[in-house]
Amino acid sequence: MGARNTTCFFFLLLCIFLSTGPSIASDVLSHGQSLSGNQTLVSRQGNFELGFFTPGNSSSNYYIGIWYKKLQPQTIIWVANRESPVASPSNSKLTISATGDLVLLNHDNTPIWSSNSNLSSAGSYLAILLDNGNLAVTNGSDSGLYLWQSFAHPTDTWMPGGWLGVDKITGEYQRLTSWKNSDDPAPGLFSQSMDPDGSNQYVILWNRTDIYWSSGLWNGQFFSAVPGTKESTAFNFTFIDDKDRKFASYTILDSNVITRYVVDSSGQGRQWYLFASSQKWTTVFTQPLDQCTVYSLCGNFGVCDDKNPTVCSCPDGFHPTKVQEWDLNDWSSGCSRRTQLKCGDGDGFLKMVNMRLPANLEKLMIGSDKGCELACKNNCSCHAYSYGSAGCSVWKGEVRNLQQRHDGDGGGDTLFLRLVASDIPSSSNSHRRTLAVTLGVVLSAVVLVGAAIVIAWAYRRRKQTRASEQAAEGSVIRFSYSTLQRMTKNFSDKVGTGGFGSVFKGVMPNSTLIAVKKLEGLRQGEKQFRTEVSTLGAVGHVNLVRLCGYCCERSQMLLVYEYMSGGSLDAHLFHDGCTFLNWRTRYQIILGTARGLAYLHEKCRECIIHCDVKPDNILLDEEFCPKVSDFGMAKLLGRDFSRVLTTMRGTVGYLAPEWISGSPITPKVDVYSFGMMLFEVVSGSRNTRSSEEEGDHSFYPSWAAREVIQGNAMRLLDPKLEGVAEAEEVNNVCKVAIWCIQDSEERRPSMGQVVQILEGVLDVNMPPLPAALQNLFPQDQDQDPIRHSQREEEQDSIVAPEGST
């Protein structure tokens, strides 16, 4: 009896299962099928997945979206019901109708979202998730014809193979529209599309009305404000303009690179790259570069300040309108008054100095600041006024696009913002200043001559000592050109010359030594230059040369660094007359340099690729502690890699194969250069020389690599060391060097791994001989190629497996 009951129970379960409909193919949803709960579609090669997800920290709202299947954390590229979340995926379902519409149904079969495919008749329609991230609806009889596709209806992301343009027949514009914030994929206020005026350029808009960035017109090869679209070797960019539509599209050229373009909730468009070797998203292009250029980023009455870590803030007397949204860096709700205006004598004005004035001003024909104030005060709808060289300006209604300017920015004015008088901060500071002036007058009457001398001396020293104090505190400051002239004795003491300009020794008023680099050939605007310098100034590590300040004046661009009294590493290795470096010092220099590069690659907020690692750019202090210099040059030439590729080619002898092939540049180019530099530190000779061991005149790195693989690493040691070195350390350094110069960047270690090996945390395998050292120099080929081939197959990783010896 029990057996019969069990059989009936399982038969009942089978009937229930079959009644739900046919099973879903891995990448296809067909008519009659549905997707709900944890069910997903996965593209054929496993690149992308479609299903229900919850964004950010949200736990109650579910959306249908597409994301990268193999990447963590989850990265969404498309959302269907971005304005209409569902409460439970188990009670909702995505299905395809008989007329080819993709439809998301709620628990009561109420449509939440539809693709509105507008197909006229029923058919055997299928929805297919493709391996480029495109969700396409096809007729089963012709799977190659896409009747609807998500690439034609992007959300905030533009994928390779997708397009962005305008349909000339219907007049429909495609738009990338930002998420509201990280917890809410609903359309935000920022969008990118082709210019609504019909011109051949792209624009980013606030609220689809105010343009604050444009690409420049297409000139047949590239957009005039984005020259990288022509020069990039990472992707192929095309622009099509025919009788039916006008659009741009791009495809990626390297299968090892994943990329996407996103208009994010900060109002900026960003091109993100992920390299197979790093598995970490990196921003390589941002537009506009200055975040405060984004129109109304901080909302009504909000103040944008790119020097403020929180970017947006509220003026005195105001508070965030929606605190929870501000916590998510969604400032669009702006600021609200703490106390409502009384519209009368109870109101006053908050003085805000050095501000970028709000948009939508109204000019009044009033000839005095007092008259301008009264005109605003007597109008209850007037919220702010400003009086300057341009006359009287008032703002009625919303006050948007406020920005705090700083010394040297230019374009700042004084704004008077209307507040209830009780909310205006106390003027006690003014009283204290008045008291100080009064005391100064009394004291000057007593000791007039002495006070005058002291005041004059203090005035002259103030600007000089201020720079010294700020530099000592670690902040990046702006120097005037005349100040740097005085500190460097009119640039008379040149201590070095590099690819980016000359370096001069200087002395600050507090006797601190500095190194001033005069940059040459830098084509960059002042605002972008200051932004990059500010970013680099925040980078701090014991093995990185500290950036103290800068100057940007009269087309002169200079950088001020801490002075390194020990000089450069190349001088000690290759030039006579400098301090001899023993092996212990060399090993510490190698380890310190590796730590500095690892910090740039892995610890900075944005990965910094040096692009020119060599002994000349490793500076030493008085105790021979190494510090990497010039690490900011690539960033100062532009954040997009295309400009780096076309203007920075490194130095011969240290170039990774990627430079020559034109492949995208990753941190592994620094690893390659570091490996070449290791040969020089060990041998005390340039790596471009020929080996002269036993009459062998082959390319030095090729000879060195063969010697190390054959167990003769000590033969590479600088003769000046007379064999005094730790053999195991020499052997490990040489093996690391060969791993670093492998042809394939995937085979090269990260700088973090290099540090762990040099610190003794990880063991290192014997490396294979890089193929390029055989192919480029036939006379250097191993005498036992079969043995070498076997070794190359066996040793595919730099790190020895755990437990191995």
**Single-letter code of the amino acid located at 182:** S
Sequence-distant (6+) residues with CB within 8 A of 12 are: none
Same domain, 526 and 540: yes
Same domain, 308 and 285: no
Query: What is the tens place of the pLDDT at every residue in 494-541?
Result: 888 766 788 999 998 878 899 999 987 665 667 778 777 877 887 888
Q: Identify whether 616 is a catalytic site residue.
A: no
Same domain, 264 and 174: yes
What is the C-alpha radius of gyration for the chain, rounded to an integer number of angstroms? 33
Report the run of H or E that residue 462 belongs to, with start and end: helix 448-473
Q: In DSSP terms, which residues pair with 48 in a beta bridge?
A: 68
C-alpha distances out from residue 711 to 182, 553, 693, 730, 735, Å: 55, 57, 16, 11, 10
What is the pLDDT at residue 367?
A: 86
What is d(CA 435, CA 790) in angstroms, rounded to the nearest whole number? 86
Report the run of H or E that residue 448 belongs to, with start and end: helix 448-473
**Structural domain contains residue 438:** no
What is the pLDDT at residue 395?
A: 94
What is the pLDDT at residue 643?
A: 39
- Of 495, 530, 563, which marks where a domain is finished? 563
Contact 484, 558 (CB under 8 A): yes
What is the pLDDT at residue 791?
A: 46
Same domain, 285 and 186: yes
Q: What is the DSSP string of 625-673?
A: -EEE--TTHHHHT-SSHHHHHHH----TTS--HHHHHTPPP-THHHHHH
CB atoms within 10 A of CB 616: 20
Same domain, 205 and 302: no
- What CATH number does the domain containing 728 carry? 1.10.510.10
Identify which of 261, 234, 271, 257 has the alpha carbon closest to the alpha carbon of residue 158: 261
CA atoms within 13 A on the CB side of 129: 26
- What CATH number does the domain containing 126 carry? 2.90.10.10
C-alpha distances out from residue 309 to 125, 306, 312, 474, Å: 51, 7, 9, 17
What is d(CA 160, CA 226) in angstroms, rounded to the nearest whole number? 18
What is the pLDDT at residue 332?
A: 94
Packing angle of the helix pair 668-683, 700-709 (nearest 10 deg):
80
For residue 780, give the DSSP letter: G
Measured between its terminal Cα atoms, the distance across the chain in Å is: 64
- Of 540, 563, 586, which marks where a domain is finished? 563
3-state secondary structure of 384: strand
CA atoms within 13 A on the CB side of 721: 24
What is d(CA 100, CA 103) in angstroms, rounded to the nearest whole number? 9
Query: What is the tens place of the pLDDT at every residue in 366-396?
Result: 989 999 999 999 998 999 999 988 899 999 9
Q: What is the DSSP string of 764-777?
A: BPPPPPPHHHHHS-
Burial class (CB in 10 A: 0-12, 13-18, 19+), 70: exposed
Contact 500, 520 (CB under 8 A): yes
> Whole-prediction pTM value?
0.55
- Of 94, 122, 153, which marks where a domain is finished? 153
**Structural domain contains residue 73:** yes
Q: Could you tell me the sign of the dihedral formed by the alpha carbons of 246, 252, 258, 259, in that order?
A: negative
What is d(CA 450, CA 172) in angstroms, rounded to the nearest whole number? 77
Query: What values do phi and psi take at 472, rounded to 5?
Result: -65, -30
At residue 263's C-alpha, the angle toward residues 259 and 268, to 5°, is 110
**Structural domain contains residue 330:** yes
**Structural domain contains residue 721:** yes
Chain-centroid distance, C-alpha 745: 21
What is the pLDDT at residue 9?
A: 39
Same domain, 573 and 527: no
Packing angle of the helix pair 751-758, 727-740 (nearest 10 deg):
170
3-state secondary structure of 787: helix
- What CATH number does the domain containing 520 carry? 3.30.200.20
Low-confidence residues of the chain: pLDDT under 50: 1-23, 427-438, 441-442, 456-457, 459, 463-474, 638-650, 694-695, 776-794, 801-805
Beta strand extents in 80-156 (DSSP E only): 93-96, 102-105, 111-114, 125-129, 135-139, 142-149
**Structural domain contains residue 469:** no
Same domain, 478 and 378: no
- 518: annotated binding-site residue? yes
Chain-centroid distance, C-alpha 140: 43
Q: State the SS3 of 684-740.
A: CCCCCCECCHHHCCCEHHHHHHHHHHCCCHHHHCCHHHCCCCCHHHHHHHHHHHHHH
What is the pLDDT at residue 774?
A: 67
For residue 700, what are the domain limits? 567-794
At 559, list the tokens: 């950088």
Burial class (CB in 10 A: 0-12, 13-18, 19+), 22: exposed
What is d(CA 451, CA 449) in angstroms, rounded to the nearest whole number? 6
Same domain, 399 and 547: no
Query: What is the tens place of the pLDDT at every residue in 393-448?
Result: 999 988 999 999 887 677 789 999 999 998 988 644 444 444 444 455 445 555 55
What is the pLDDT at residue 278?
A: 65
What is d(CA 529, CA 549) in angstroms, rounded to the nearest whole number? 12
**Structural domain contains residue 500:** yes
Contact 561, 613 (CB under 8 A): no
**Structural domain contains residue 245:** yes
3-state secondary structure of 455: helix
Identify which of 552, 537, 564, 558 has the alpha carbon closest to the alpha carbon of residue 471: 537
Same domain, 96 and 194: no
Omega before 288 within 30 of 0, i.e. cis = yes
For residue 302, give the DSSP letter: -
What is the pLDDT at residue 443?
A: 54
What is the pLDDT at residue 792?
A: 44
Longest dimension (CA), the chain: 118
Contact 653, 687 (CB under 8 A): yes
What is d(CA 424, CA 418) in angstroms, rounded to the nearest whole number? 9
Same domain, 638 and 780: yes
Give the count of domains, the chain: 5
**Structural domain contains residue 315:** yes
Same domain, 420 and 325: yes
Same domain, 83 and 138: yes
Q: Which residue is catalytic, options 330, 612, 780, 782? A: 612
What is the pLDDT at residue 584?
A: 94
What is the pLDDT at residue 690?
A: 63
